[in-house]
Amino acid sequence: MKGSIDIHNYLTSKGVNHEIFPTTKPVKSIKEAGAVLGLKLDEMVKCILVKAEEKFVMLLLLGNTRASLKKVAKHLKVKSVKLATPEETVKATGYRLGTTPPCDFSLKIPCLIDRKVLEKEVIYTGAGEPNAFLKIKTSDVLKLTQGEVVDIAHR
């Protein structure tokens, strides 16, 4: 399974400036991560793997929002979208559920980025381990993922 050194090496190989922030203990939720890092939830980004019929898609949303699977299904023109299982997440990304960074996946996975994410210059997100977080420029995430910017948050 991949970890923070893998995302660090990947970003370094791409010439992308970033920082990895370790925490003294593993965190179990984005709310807990924000508290540990001293960040607001809207400064953090959740990377959520979903399965749109039989195709994996990565969703990037601000930490204070929820994904609208209906909006995702409508945008992708599919009947059903569901959250990937922990096993599917590891298989598709190489990273554990809840620690997934926005890029460096085992499979080629398209990415949908909620439009509100682009309002942030810098974001904090998973770095491959429950006790590590990635700080990266949003513009770099957009380039690396070649993500499509859409309205996918439940508002």
Torsions phi, psi for 81 (to 5 deg): -135, 130
Q: What is the pLDDT of residue 136?
A: 98
**pLDDT tens per residue, range 15-27:** 999 999 999 889 9
Q: Which domains are seen in the chain, by residue range? A: 4-154 (3.90.960.10)
State the CB neighbour count (10 A cutoff) for residue 88. Answer: 16
pTM of the model: 0.96
Helix (H), strand (E), coil (C) string for 75-113: HHCCCCEEECCHHHHHHHHCCCCCCCCCCCCCCCCCEEE
Residue 155: pLDDT above 80?
no
Write the pLDDT tens digit of every residue in 49-81.
999 999 999 999 999 999 999 999 999 999 999
H helices of the chain, in order, are 4-13, 30-37, 69-76, 86-93, 138-145
* Residue 106: pLDDT band with limits 50, 70, 90: confident
Dihedral, 4, 121, 40, 129 alpha carbons, nearest 10: -10
Specify the residue for token string 């010439």.
15
